[in-house]
Structure 1
Amino acid sequence: MRVDFYQLSRDPVEFVVPLIARATRAAGERLLVVSADDAALGRIGEALWERLPEAFLAHGRAGEAHEARQPILLSAAPEAGNGARFIALADGQWREEAMHFARAFLLFGEAELDGARACWRMLGGQGDVERRFWKQDGGRWREGP
């Protein structure tokens, strides 16, 4: 399994999730986006339609009609009703259920920094987890130490 840590320093989560979603879809995968904040899921949903106009990022909400067919599913719970193998934890909170996915993205800001560091250390003790850390350098993302 691979876990990508994204430290949000410039852009809000709703700007970053569409980039991850586009790359996920380009890889032929489905994505589950999880946040306990319903308003944030709403902003992410709007951004999936509007942020990258050249990309068609079809999506839906968990519990709504046709959730199993959605390539990108927005949910408050880490349950992939769409069969996703990739999960984006958009509220900066690690969930153990993410370990059942092939790839996880943990997006966190300054307020979640301590929790992300603890998660990094915890996952480092597990031999079957590859960890990557990404941070913004101006407007671009680069892999960091």
Structure 2
Amino acid sequence: MQVDFYQLTRDPAEKVIPVLAQRVLDGGGRMLVVSGEGDQLNRLSTALWNAKPDSFLAHAKAGEGDDALQPILLSTAPDAANGARFVALADGEWRDEALGFDRIFYLFPPSHTDNARTAWRTLANREDVERRYWKQDGGKWVQGP
């Protein structure tokens, strides 16, 4: 399994998630986006609707439709009712339940750096986890040390 740590120093999760989701969908996958903040889920929904000028990224909030049919499902819990193998933790909170997915995108703002460091150190002891750290450099993402 792969865990990608994204330190959000320039863009908020609402700008990053649509890009990650598009890549997952382009590869034939499904994504679960998790946030414990209802307001953030609303902002993420709007961002997915407005991600492209000529279309949108199909999605729904958990419990507001047929969850199993959604290519992107927004939820407060890491429960992939849509069969997703990719999960984005959008609110900066690490959840061990995410370790059941093939790939985890852990997005955290500077205020959650301590949480990210703890998760990084904890995952270092697992042989089945590949960790990657990404930071923003100008307008692009670069892999950190």
Q: What interval of TM-score do these two structures reach, taking the shorter chain for normalisation?
A: over 0.9
Provide TM-score, normalisation by structure 1.
0.97
Q: Extract unaligned runs of 5+ from structure 2.
A: none
For 1:22, the equivalent position in structure 2 comes to 22
Amino acid at match of 1:49: W
Report percent identity of matched pairs. 57
1:46: how far off?
0.3
For 2:7, the equivalent position in structure 1 comes to 7
Classify the secondary structure of the residue corresponding to 1:39. Answer: helix
For 2:144, the equivalent position in structure 1 comes to 144
For 2:69, the equivalent position in structure 1 comes to 69
1:21: how far off?
0.3
Amino acid at match of 1:131: R
For 1:50, the equivalent position in structure 2 comes to 50
Classify the secondary structure of the residue corresponding to 2:20. Answer: helix
1:71: how far off?
0.1
For 2:59, the equivalent position in structure 1 comes to 59
Root mean square deviation of aligned Cα: 0.9
1:55: how far off?
5.5
Amino acid at match of 1:93: E
1:67: how far off?
1.1
Query: Which residues in structure 2 correspond to 1:97-116 (within 5 Å)?
Result: 97-116=97-116
Q: Extract unaligned runs of 5+ from structure 1.
A: none
The runs of at least 4 consecutive aligned structure 1 residues that moved more than 3 Å come to: none
Size of the alignment, in residue pairs? 145
Amino acid at match of 2:21: A
Amino acid at match of 1:118: T
- Within 2, Cα distance between the matches of 1:110 and 1:62? 28
1:79 aligns with 2:83: no
